[in-house]
Amino acid sequence: GDSVTQMEGPVTLSEEAFLTINCTYTATGYPSLFWYVQYPGEGLQLLLKATKADDKGSNKGFEATYRKETTSFHLEKGSVQVSDSAVYFCALSDGNTDKLIFGTGTRLQVFP
Amino acid sequence: DAMVIQNPRYQVTQFGKPVTLSCSQTLNHNVMYWYQQKSSQAPKLLFHYYDKDFNNEADTPDNFQSRRPNTSFCFLDIRSPGLGDAAMYLCATSRDTGRVTQYFGPGTRLLVL
Q: pLDDT tens-digit profile of B28-69?
A: 999 999 999 998 899 999 999 999 999 999 999 999 999 999
* For residue B1, pLDDT beyond 70: no
Name every chain B residue with its beta carbon within 8 A of the beta carbon of A34: 101
Tell me what pLDDT residue A29 has. Answer: 80
Q: How many CA atoms lie within 13 A of A9 on its CB side?
A: 23
How many residues comprise chain B? 113
- Average pLDDT of chain A? 93
- Average pLDDT of chain B? 93
The CA-CA-CA angle for residues B106, B108, B113, to 5°, reads 160
Predicted confidence band of residue B111 (pLDDT cuts 50, 70, 90): very high
CB contact under 8 A, B98 and A42: no
CB B104 within 8 A of CB B91: yes
Which pairing describes strands A23-26 and A62-65: parallel, antiparallel, or unpaired? unpaired
Tell me what pLDDT residue A99 has. Answer: 81
How many CB pairs lie under 8 A apart between chains A and B?
A: 59
* For residue B17, pLDDT beyond 70: yes
> How confident is the model over A10-41, as pLDDT tens digits?
999 999 999 999 999 999 888 999 999 999 88
Identify the closest residue of chain B to A44 by CA–CA distance: B104
> How confident is the model over B62-94, as pLDDT tens digits?
999 999 999 999 999 999 999 999 999 999 999
The residue with greater pLDDT, B7 or B81, is B81
The CA-CA-CA angle for residues B74, B88, A7, to 5°, reads 120
Task: Provide the residue type at B22 as one letter.
Answer: S
Query: In terms of Cα–Cα distance, which of B53, B63, B75, B78 is closest to B6?
Result: B75
CB contact under 8 A, B41 and A99: no
Tell me what pLDDT residue A1 has. Answer: 83
Query: In terms of Cα–Cα distance, which of A60, A79, A74 is closest to A18?
Result: A79
| A44 in B contact zone (CB under 8 Å) | yes
| Ranges in chain A, pLDDT < 50 | none
- Rg of chain B over all Cα atoms, to the nearest angstrom: 13
Tell me what pLDDT residue B2 has. Answer: 63
